[in-house]
Amino acid sequence: MNTENEKKRTPEVLRARFEPHLMETFHEQRVLFEEGLIRVHATARLECDAWGVSVRLEPEIERDPFTVSGAWEILSVWKNRLGAAYVGWGISIPVEHEGEQ
Protein backbone atom coordinates (compact mmCIF):
# COMPACT_ATOMS: atom_id res chain seq x y z
CA MET A 1 0.00 0.00 0.00
CA ASN A 2 1.41 3.39 -0.98
CA THR A 3 0.29 5.83 1.70
CA GLU A 4 2.04 8.79 0.03
CA ASN A 5 -0.17 8.43 -3.08
CA GLU A 6 -3.25 7.97 -0.90
CA LYS A 7 -2.52 11.27 0.85
CA LYS A 8 -2.41 13.03 -2.53
CA ARG A 9 -5.96 11.86 -3.37
CA THR A 10 -7.79 12.95 -0.21
CA PRO A 11 -10.71 15.34 -0.70
CA GLU A 12 -8.85 18.04 1.23
CA VAL A 13 -5.74 17.80 -0.96
CA LEU A 14 -7.77 17.68 -4.18
CA ARG A 15 -9.87 20.68 -3.16
CA ALA A 16 -6.79 22.74 -2.29
CA ARG A 17 -5.24 21.80 -5.63
CA PHE A 18 -8.24 22.35 -7.91
CA GLU A 19 -10.63 24.89 -6.36
CA PRO A 20 -8.68 28.06 -7.28
CA HIS A 21 -8.36 26.94 -10.91
CA LEU A 22 -12.02 25.90 -11.16
CA MET A 23 -13.31 29.17 -9.75
CA GLU A 24 -11.02 31.28 -11.93
CA THR A 25 -11.72 29.34 -15.12
CA PHE A 26 -15.40 28.34 -14.95
CA HIS A 27 -17.29 30.39 -12.32
CA GLU A 28 -19.73 32.82 -13.98
CA GLN A 29 -18.36 31.95 -17.41
CA ARG A 30 -20.00 30.79 -20.62
CA VAL A 31 -19.42 27.05 -20.92
CA LEU A 32 -20.42 24.14 -23.10
CA PHE A 33 -22.17 21.48 -21.01
CA GLU A 34 -22.10 17.91 -22.33
CA GLU A 35 -23.73 14.77 -21.00
CA GLY A 36 -24.47 11.90 -23.35
CA LEU A 37 -26.12 13.39 -26.44
CA ILE A 38 -26.96 16.67 -24.68
CA ARG A 39 -24.87 19.73 -25.59
CA VAL A 40 -25.92 23.11 -24.21
CA HIS A 41 -24.20 26.48 -23.91
CA ALA A 42 -24.84 27.96 -20.47
CA THR A 43 -23.49 30.25 -17.78
CA ALA A 44 -21.87 28.23 -14.98
CA ARG A 45 -21.95 29.13 -11.30
CA LEU A 46 -19.76 26.94 -9.12
CA GLU A 47 -19.97 26.16 -5.42
CA CYS A 48 -17.20 24.18 -3.77
CA ASP A 49 -17.34 22.50 -0.39
CA ALA A 50 -15.64 19.67 1.49
CA TRP A 51 -17.54 17.06 -0.56
CA GLY A 52 -16.93 18.41 -4.06
CA VAL A 53 -18.26 20.81 -6.68
CA SER A 54 -21.80 21.79 -7.64
CA VAL A 55 -22.28 23.55 -10.96
CA ARG A 56 -25.48 25.50 -11.53
CA LEU A 57 -26.05 25.95 -15.25
CA GLU A 58 -28.29 28.60 -16.77
CA PRO A 59 -28.79 27.58 -20.42
CA GLU A 60 -28.82 30.11 -23.24
CA ILE A 61 -31.83 28.33 -24.75
CA GLU A 62 -35.39 28.09 -23.44
CA ARG A 63 -34.65 25.56 -20.72
CA ASP A 64 -34.82 25.71 -16.94
CA PRO A 65 -31.55 26.07 -15.01
CA PHE A 66 -30.17 22.82 -13.60
CA THR A 67 -27.36 21.65 -11.33
CA VAL A 68 -24.78 18.90 -11.71
CA SER A 69 -22.20 17.88 -9.14
CA GLY A 70 -19.28 15.60 -8.45
CA ALA A 71 -17.14 14.58 -5.48
CA TRP A 72 -13.51 15.70 -5.46
CA GLU A 73 -12.34 12.11 -5.94
CA ILE A 74 -14.18 11.64 -9.25
CA LEU A 75 -13.45 14.99 -10.90
CA SER A 76 -11.19 15.24 -13.92
CA VAL A 77 -9.71 18.70 -14.25
CA TRP A 78 -7.90 20.09 -17.29
CA LYS A 79 -6.94 23.62 -18.32
CA ASN A 80 -10.29 24.37 -20.01
CA ARG A 81 -12.43 21.36 -19.09
CA LEU A 82 -14.02 19.86 -15.99
CA GLY A 83 -15.68 16.45 -15.94
CA ALA A 84 -17.08 13.97 -13.47
CA ALA A 85 -16.32 10.28 -13.92
CA TYR A 86 -19.10 7.75 -13.38
CA VAL A 87 -21.84 10.37 -13.86
CA GLY A 88 -20.66 11.39 -17.32
CA TRP A 89 -21.04 15.16 -17.44
CA GLY A 90 -18.48 17.73 -18.46
CA ILE A 91 -18.14 21.44 -19.00
CA SER A 92 -15.59 23.23 -21.12
CA ILE A 93 -14.80 26.74 -22.21
CA PRO A 94 -16.03 26.93 -25.81
CA VAL A 95 -13.52 27.84 -28.47
CA GLU A 96 -14.58 31.06 -30.14
CA HIS A 97 -13.80 30.97 -33.85
CA GLU A 98 -12.62 34.11 -35.56
CA GLY A 99 -15.55 35.94 -37.10
CA GLU A 100 -18.17 34.40 -34.74
CA GLN A 101 -20.25 36.68 -32.56
With bands split at pLDDT 50, 70 and 90, how would you rate the model's confidence at 95? confident
| Partner residues linked to 29 by β-bridges | 44
Rounded to an integer, what distance in angstroms lies between the CA atom of residue 41 and that of residue 34? Answer: 9
Judge whether residue 9 has pLDDT over 90: no
Judge whether residue 2 has pLDDT over 60: no
Residue 6 pLDDT: 58
Q: Map residue 87 onto helix, strand or coil.
A: coil
Rounded to an integer, what distance in angstroms lies between the CA atom of residue 77 and that of residue 54? Answer: 14
Q: Of 44, 35, 90, 42, give the one whose Cα is nearest residue 63.
A: 42
Buried b (16+ CB within 10 A) or exposed e, 42-68: bebbbebeeebbebebeeeeeeeeeeb
With bands split at pLDDT 50, 70 and 90, how would you rate the model's confidence at 85? very high
What is the pTM assigned to this prediction? 0.86
Judge whether residue 68 has pLDDT over 90: yes
Residue 88 pLDDT: 94
